[in-house]
Amino acid sequence: MAFTRNERRLLTASAVLALCFCLAAPAGAMHIMEGYLPVGHCVFWGAVCLPFLAWGLISIKRIVAQHRKAVLLLAMMGAYAFVLSALKIPSAFGMSSSHPTGTGLGAVMFGAPVMAVLGIIVLLFQAVLLAHGGLTTLGANTFSMAIAGPFLSWGLYALLKKCRVNQTVSVGLACALGDLFTYVITSLQLGFSHPSAVGGVGASIAEFMGIFAVTQIPLAAIEGILSAVVFMLLQSFAKPELREIGMLQEVR
């Protein structure tokens, strides 16, 4: 998409700021817990998020200005992430609990950048009021749940669309794998910051994958199915809005 001059300035500024932070601090979960990432890593992940947040703000402004009709849907997508990330569900793998992210559906419909902003709102709420996740780890958690996951969902959906896979199935698959990818990233983030004395970074990553990613598999399936259900409901009740954002395919 083409950016206006002010938008380009905002993006450049955020990217430059991000670069400064990254250079200044060369870095040596469910959400990652407060205080469990070294300072350098916290700053690094926070910096990486900045350009995406700026991009997200621009996209939201665009949607509000150009697709007024679809704003209700956008609010519903934010609310969907809010609900899903509050649900701690027991998992058959690992015998522990975790929660879905709920950020995939919004990413598929409105593009991934939007979810960076909506996702950080959810994470702030949880970090400040619920002592879940954390303010120091906000950057890392935002990157995994509000950026990496949504971007995977967005990309995968585009790919499936090109392959002419059924739209509802594509939405479900994209959301499920985006959810899983979030926790793969969380495991990588923890693995890099806490390398094991014996096996190094690799062993640590494997350890955290076992905790986060494996637990998440059934939950990812739930998120995929739920997202597909919500999308089916929208297909029957929100046709004008879906047409507005270009999500309405074959009308049977």
CB contact at 8 A, 145 and 119: yes
Q: Which residues from 29-68 bind another protein, rule CB under 8 A? A: 29-36, 38-39
- Of the pair 38, 155, the CB lying nearest another protein is at 38
**Is residue 209 part of the contact set for another protein (CB under 8 A)?**
no
Cα–Cα dist 95/137, whole Å = 25
Cα–Cα dist 36/43, whole Å = 13
To another protein, the closest distance from the beta carbon of 124 in angstroms equals 12
Cα–Cα dist 45/80, whole Å = 25
Question: Segment contacting another protein (CB under 8 A): 5-13, 46-54, 145-153, 221-229?
Answer: 221-229
To another protein, the closest distance from the beta carbon of 104 in angstroms equals 15
**Is residue 202 part of the contact set for another protein (CB under 8 A)?**
no
Q: Which residues from 149-188 bind another protein, rule CB under 8 A? A: none
Name every residue whose Cβ is closer than 8 Å to that of residue 78 and which is 6 or more positions away in sequence.
106, 118, 121, 122
To another protein, the closest distance from the beta carbon of 64 in angstroms equals 16
- Of the pair 27, 222, the CB lying nearest another protein is at 222
Name every residue whose Cβ is closer than 8 Å to that of residue 209 and which is 6 or more positions away in sequence.
184, 187, 191
Cα–Cα dist 76/128, whole Å = 23
111: number of Cβ within 10 Å: 19
Q: Which residues from 10-29 bind another protein, rule CB under 8 A? A: 29
To another protein, the closest distance from the beta carbon of 119 in angstroms equals 13
Could you say which of 2, 26, 65, 236 contacts another protein (CB under 8 A)? 236
Cα–Cα dist 32/43, whole Å = 14
Q: Write down the residue that tokens 């002419």 correspond to.
A: 164
Per-residue contact flags (x/-) with another protein for residues 61 to 100, judged by CB under 8 A: -----------xx-xx-xxxxxxxxxxxxxxx-xxxxx--
Q: Which residues from 96-155 bind another protein, rule CB under 8 A? A: 96-98, 125-132, 134-136
Could you say which of 14, 142, 167, 215 contacts another protein (CB under 8 A)? 215
SS3 for 136? coil
CB contact at 8 A, 186 and 148: no
